[in-house]
Amino acid sequence: MEDRIPDGIASLAAAEGLGRHRLTIMPKRHGPLMTCNFVFMILVGLACFLLPGLWFLHHALRTPNFSRKAAARRLHFFEFGMVETDHGGVPAAFRWDSMTVLQEITDSYVNGVHIATGYRYTLHKGDGTVRKILNFYAEPERWGPFIQQEVTGFQLPGMLRMLDEGRTVTFADISVNRTGVATPRRGAVTWPEIESVRVSDGVLVLKKAGKSLSWSSRKVKDIPNFILFLALVDELRRSAAAR
């Protein structure tokens, strides 16, 4: 983490109305052992097996340990949004109140033993700008939920007001209103009919009361602003139960 931000980033944040700077996340550097392993595999690969050696070299040169450009990338978080600097040094700003996030978290196992967790957050902006934020950056288990939390906090009140006006909001092909939820394939159900909402192995499962099978299931990675969706559904189910 670091507190100082470049003048260009500060100017972009000011132009986008992002408010005060809160935190900067730096790229995750490999430790000495992993760095030595990279070097060893590159040397052995180039000496004995050209293509594997070039593959390791290519990937090594994309890490902050071996690339000055990669080491210069940053995630800057502000009061009302964030700025990400890509591999070409080009920054892009996103506001919490208007951005869309797709989340994909994948656990990897070898012989039943967990060895790694992969993080991918795809950010979308209204003007078509898209950035894929991976665990290239340090502490993805911290900044990933933070992004979702800020998007939810800024966008949930507005969505609730839209629903109070009788409007419908959509998350991919899932439509939500004060009455219930609907999909093109499964039709519509009311909130009292939804018995449970849970996530299992990266899949969102909506279960209808009295049915043994799920009413609808969607991969979490395909649902825009997934945490916002969960917060909205929770609020609507509680409101329906209180009536």
The continuous run of DSSP H or E covering 151 comes out as helix 140-164
The pLDDT of residue 236 is: 96
Q: Of 36, 76, 74, whose CA–CA distance to 56 is shortest? A: 36
- Which amino acid is it at 169? V
168-242 folds as PH-domain like (2.30.29)
d(CA 207, CA 196): 5
Report residue 141 as tokens: 């288990």
DSSP lists the bridge partners of residue 133 as: 121
Q: Of 57, 84, 60, whose CA–CA distance to 73 is shortest? A: 84
Contact between residue 77 and residue 22 where contact means Cβ atoms under 8 Å apart:
yes
Q: Regarding beta strands 180-183 and 203-208, do their DSSP bridges make them parallel or antiparallel, or are they unpaired?
A: unpaired
Per-residue tens of pLDDT for the chain, all 243 residues: 555 789 999 999 999 999 999 999 988 865 555 545 545 444 454 455 545 544 444 454 555 555 677 777 899 999 999 999 988 889 999 999 999 999 999 888 877 888 789 999 999 999 999 999 988 899 999 999 999 999 999 999 999 999 999 999 999 999 999 999 999 988 999 999 999 999 988 999 999 988 877 888 999 999 999 999 999 999 999 999 887
d(CA 136, CA 208): 40
d(CA 46, CA 57): 9
The domain spans of the chain are 168-242
